[in-house]
Amino acid sequence: MPILDWYLDDDLTTLDDEPIPGLAAGSYSDAVELHLWVDKGSPSPQPAANVRVVLDTEDPASAGTFRRSGLPPQDELWGWMRVVGFDNTGDPTWTIPATGWQPVGAYAALPLGTIPGDCAVHLEVRFRPPVSAPELAWRFRPGAIYDEYAQPVPPVVTALGSGVLTGVGDGTRFGVVSGLALTPSSPADDEVHVAAGVWLHRGALYAQVASDHQLDQDDGDSAALTSGESYWAALSGGAGTITVTKGLKGAAPAKPAPPAGEPLLGFVRVAYQAGGSEIASAHLDVSAVVADRYRCEADGLDVVISAGQALGGGTLRYHFGSTRLTLDPSTTSYLWQLTSGLFEITEDIADRPEPSALLFWEVETDASAVTAIHDHRRYAGRTVCLRLAGAAPVSPGFVADLQVEHPLLYVDEVVFRVSDPGSGSSGSTVGEWFVDGVTAYTSQATDDQRPEIAHDATVLATREGVAELRELRRGQVVSFETAAYPSGGKPERVELILVCREA
């Protein structure tokens, strides 16, 4: 088992417990930097998985006894923490993104994910007692929980709803929801390309079509590369745009951290080239990318389930990194999440491993690989479906509209369906939706992501395509139109469903 130790920012002075510095009712205290090390200096360092940082407060009625709840600084969430850096001595490939300030106390912790052995996370901690706080002489002690994947929550929480937490409306959440893969040009040049996709940034959903990003021979300080030098650039999802953060050059340069709250899409290494940058597949590193919502991807007979959070059976379940599961060949397997947050596989959907198990995925395999993945995830929280449907007009055009009456919705998924594929030997039925007259597919001239169903389709519904417009507010009017038909004739009816999450 790894040993986790707390140090002050000199990495020499260990921390047992500390007075809370500079407390004043109604104001933030000064920030203190602390370093959490895993197996510091060990000849055989071990990683700590799924780490969460907590703060304990000393009970004034029992000196030396620290509590995680039942005291004002815990129950009232006086403590705040954020990630400000890292030391990757034991694993130079590892990084951790900076975060914004997050409350820490009873039922609240700061997630860090897996920390390799002989590596450290640098954090800052501060406190804000409420104006009504009568007692300010407290001592605190930080702690770290690892190799755990669930924590109990009040039963009423999961009685009101269970399933995967979407992160919408949660300002501490960020991650890749779909797409956004990095690829180089062919032949190689100075650009890296980001596929269309959706991401979560500080509790809001954003989307964009495919984009190109040029990386020249100047590093993050605008210093030109010279022979033998390179720099790393981090690509991340910001508030509606892709952010490129360049690091500093060197013979063995460090990877830069993306801005706080932005999900990492990947790193790109740019090496010195006399004629300009040449970025190839070998220069891309996507090992630290964190997808969200327990996304499932195939790798031979394995599946990799991404990070995510879920509610069920009186527990909050959480994974801050991916989980690899190996499936039997030529079977249909069902992937369940248990109350403990761990996963279990059955080969019969009726064989629920425990009453509060959540079914996430159904996976089919042949002798050597996964052949199909079916999504059975359900989501906690409010889901609102806005449905627009009607007879397909004779010529492509208006079908239906409606007015939004929810304060704030985020469009999470777009479903386009036709009653029949139409007729003819070519072409497709194409759908499009608008908000107050503005198309949701604002970049269709360069990358047309509008949903379409081909003239010879056997599956008459699609969830493909990326709508860049994601936010809907009360009073806005959403309208649905057809944009094209197959060559020989239109379908009889068309339907659009916007699956939304309420913030």
DSSP letters for 408-441: EEEEEEEEEEESS--BSSS-EEEEEEEETTEES-
Give the DSSP letter of residue 279. B
How far CA 120 is from CA of 111, 115, 193, 262, 285, in Å, comes to 14, 7, 32, 21, 21
**Same-domain check for residues 391 and 418:** yes
- Give the DSSP letter string of 373-416: EEE---B-S-EEEEEEEEEPPSSS-EEEEEE--SSEEEEEEEEE
**Same-domain check for residues 120 and 15:** yes
Alpha-carbon distance 411 to 463, whole Å? 12
- 71: which 2 tokens? 């005291």
**Same-domain check for residues 143 and 16:** yes
At 484, is the secondary structure helix, strand, or coil? strand
- 302: which 2 tokens? 């394995």
**Same-domain check for residues 141 and 49:** yes
200 domain-assigned = yes
Q: Which pLDDT value is given to residue 20?
A: 72
**Same-domain check for residues 267 and 344:** no
Q: How many domains does the chain have?
A: 4
Contact 142, 125 (CB under 8 A): yes
155 domain-assigned = no
24 domain-assigned = yes
Q: In terms of residue numbers, what domain contains 317?
A: 296-375
Q: Which pLDDT value is given to residue 204?
A: 96
**Same-domain check for residues 366 and 391:** no
Q: What value, to the nearest 5°, has the Cα angle with vertex 454 and ends 452 and 456?
A: 160
166 domain-assigned = no
Q: Which pLDDT value is given to residue 495?
A: 98
Alpha-carbon distance 291 to 303, whole Å? 14
Contact 241, 258 (CB under 8 A): no
Which of 257, 285, 313 is a domain's end point? 285
| Short-list 343, 205, 194, CA closest to 279 | 194
Q: What is the CA radius of gyration of the chain?
A: 25
**Same-domain check for residues 322 and 408:** no
Residues contacting residue 130 through CB under 8 Å, at least 6 positions apart:
25, 26, 76, 78
What amino acid is encoded at 91 in this protein? D
167 domain-assigned = no
**Same-domain check for residues 85 and 201:** no
162 domain-assigned = no
Per-residue pLDDT in tens (0 to 9) along the chain, 503 residues: 999 999 999 999 998 777 777 788 889 988 999 999 999 999 999 999 999 999 999 998 998 899 999 999 999 999 999 999 999 999 998 989 888 899 999 888 999 999 999 999 999 999 999 998 876 788 889 999 999 999 988 888 888 889 999 999 998 899 999 999 999 999 999 999 999 999 999 999 999 999 999 999 999 999 999 999 999 999 999 999 999 999 999 999 999 989 988 999 999 999 999 999 999 999 999 988 989 999 999 999 999 999 999 999 999 999 999 999 999 999 999 999 999 999 999 999 999 999 999 999 999 999 999 999 999 999 998 899 999 999 999 999 999 999 999 999 999 999 999 999 998 889 999 999 999 999 999 999 999 999 999 999 999 999 999 999 999 999 999 999 999 999 989 999 999 999 999 98
How far CA 222 is from CA of 231, 253, 276, in Å, comes to 11, 15, 15
CA 171 to chain CA centroid, nearest Å: 12
Which of 114, 148, 182 is a domain's end point? 148
Q: Residue 417 belongs to a domain with what CATH number?
A: 2.60.120
253 domain-assigned = yes
